[in-house]
Amino acid sequence: MSILVKKRTTESYLEKISRTLPKKSWESVRGAIRNFIRFCEEKYQTSPDNLCLELLKTKKSEGEDEYQDALYTLLQDWIDWNITVKTGNYTIRTRFSCIRSYLYHLGVKTNSQDIKQLLKFPKKINEERYPLKKQELKDLVLAHGRYPKRQALYLACSSSGMRMGEALKIRKKDLDFSLQRIMIKIKAEYTKTKEARTTFVSKECEQKIRIYLDKLNDNDLVFCDTGNGDKMRNEQQILNNVLERLGYNQKYSSNGFYKITSHSFRAYFFTFATRKHGENYAHKLTGHGGYLMQYDRISDEDKLKMYLELELDLVVFDQTKNELEIEKLRDENQSIKELREEVKKLRENQAKQDKKILDEMRDKGILPNGF
């Protein structure tokens, strides 16, 4: 074997993706591979590496047809095994896409058309997604009365459209206080799509942040404590615990997942933003791709103007809602006052111009004096 050719193994694949994939994606792929390893050990009493070597030997010694038959029998066995251990339909398909890349690394290639014709996946069940209600969001925030950072986290995700994983990476230096609402500058390295964007948080979220903001240095995390460990997994477990305590623990029948998850906060924002300003605005603030989004460019000032129109729909506390309504009335009254002043000035200017014209006409004898 040439010194330039490295042996491809499960370990070399995991090492490779650990350098190229975001941590969460890497963990998902690693979980799929572990699932496949367990299947191979239970079903065939060997490792995926050895199975792939056997498949390649079959291809070389017995031909393409025998190889294809053995390969897709193996994959169907893996699908059926996952069904028997109660793996969700969506999870099986997600893991399969990970396993395809993994097998490719080990020298075993699959074909999309063959997969479509030869493999039978369980039918995907699409249950209607549960909408997070204002009262539920309010109760979740109030349940963490002793932890203002977590209250701010929930309000930030539900009022800005940030993924919780993004919010947990926000630092004090990422906040801009120069506008009417706090603008958050989400760096590309924080996001799932690796694209930077800006968004805003509501007034009631800002009120929670202000409780502890002065204690933070510029590089401190805003919505969680600095420290090691998987913050996202920890927050999801804390959310699950409080859902059980509040009785909001309904689960989907197809997969057993809680109907309210960290993603529910983001979906809450997206729903109201879409209803108020359309999908492109909602996609832009949440960091989704939309139709011809590269051509839809909104200034921060325009984003804020639209956000202030949306904010009243997002807030959950009556006191904040009343404050915003009073602020809106005050702004409207100020606008009316300014409009009246402008009309008054226009009338005065018009009267002066009319008087000037009449005086000029009298001087020229066009109009008699006293007219």
Do 301 and 157 share a structural domain? yes
The pLDDT value recorded for residue 306 is 93
Per-residue pLDDT band at 342 (split at 50, 70, 90): confident
* Sign of the dihedral through C-alpha 13, 18, 21, 23: positive
Residue 234 lies in a domain: yes
Do 219 and 304 share a structural domain? yes
Q: Which residue has the tokens 């979220």?
A: 205
Query: What is the Cβ-side half-sphere exposure of residue 206, based on CA atoms within 13 angstroms?
Result: 15
Residue 369 lies in a domain: no
Do 142 and 107 share a structural domain? no
Do 138 and 271 share a structural domain? yes
The pLDDT value recorded for residue 334 is 67
Q: Which two tokens stand for residue 226?
A: 């600095």
The pLDDT value recorded for residue 228 is 66
The pLDDT value recorded for residue 298 is 77
The pLDDT value recorded for residue 325 is 77
Domain count, the chain: 2
DSSP string, 298-317: --HHHHHHHHHHHHHHH---
Q: What are phi and psi of 260, to 5 degrees?
A: -105, 120
Residue 337 lies in a domain: no
The pLDDT value recorded for residue 50 is 93
| Domain end among 285, 316, 347 | 316
Do 141 and 98 share a structural domain? no
Do 309 and 256 share a structural domain? yes
Contact 154, 137 (CB under 8 A): yes
| Domain end among 301, 316, 331 | 316
What's the pLDDT tens digit per position in 198-257?
A: 999 999 999 999 999 999 999 999 999 876 668 888 999 999 999 999 999 999 887 788
What's the pLDDT tens digit per position in 276-297?
A: 998 888 888 887 765 544 545 6
Instruction: Write the Ramachandran bin of 45: left for phi over 0, alpha for psi from -120 to 50, otherwise beta.
Output: left
Q: Which residue has the tokens 């896409």?
A: 97
pLDDT at 369 exceeding the cut of 70? no
Residue 365 lies in a domain: no
Do 147 and 78 share a structural domain? no
Residue 100 lies in a domain: yes
Q: Which two tokens stand for residue 143?
A: 């349940």
Nearest to 78 by CA among 57, 103, 112: 103
pLDDT at 4 exceeding the cut of 60? no
Contact 93, 128 (CB under 8 A): no
Do 142 and 200 share a structural domain? yes
Residue 347's SS3 state is: helix
Q: Residues of the chain with pLDDT > 70: what percent?
A: 88
Do 286 and 220 share a structural domain? yes
Lowest mean pLDDT among 5-14, 102-111, 323-332: 323-332
Do 282 and 145 share a structural domain? yes
Per-residue pLDDT band at 354 (split at 50, 70, 90): low
Across the chain, which distance is largest between two alpha carbons, in Å?
120
pLDDT at 169 exceeding the cut of 60? yes
Residue 328's SS3 state is: helix
Rounded mean pLDDT, 304-328: 86
Higher pLDDT among residues 294 and 4, named by residue? 294
Do 145 and 109 share a structural domain? no
The pLDDT value recorded for residue 332 is 63
Q: Kindly list the strands in the beta sheet with 197-200, ordered across the sheet, starting from the edge strand earlier in the chain.
A: 175-176, 183-186, 197-200
Residue 176 lies in a domain: yes
Residue 324 lies in a domain: no
Do 112 and 160 share a structural domain? no
DSSP string, 112-164: HHHHHHH--PPPPP-PPPPPPPHHHHHHHHHTTTT-HHHHHHHHHHHHH---H
Taking the C-alpha atoms of residue 196 and residue 220, their distance in angstroms, rounded to an integer, is 20
What's the pLDDT tens digit per position in 42-82?
A: 999 999 999 999 999 999 999 999 999 999 999 999 999 99
Q: Which residue has the tokens 């995700």?
A: 157
Contact 99, 33 (CB under 8 A): yes
The pLDDT value recorded for residue 80 is 95
Q: What are phi and psi of 54, to 5 degrees?
A: -65, -40
| Domain end among 316, 335, 352 | 316
Lowest mean pLDDT among 5-14, 236-245, 272-281, 354-363: 354-363
Q: Which domain, by its residues, includes 260?
A: 134-316
What's the pLDDT tens digit per position in 129-166?
A: 999 999 999 999 999 999 999 999 999 999 999 999 99
Mean pLDDT score of the chain: 87
The pLDDT value recorded for residue 5 is 47
Nearest to 216 by CA among 208, 225, 207: 225
The pLDDT value recorded for residue 1 is 44
**CATH number of the domain bearing residue 302:** 1.10.443.10
The pLDDT value recorded for residue 292 is 44
Residue 269 lies in a domain: yes
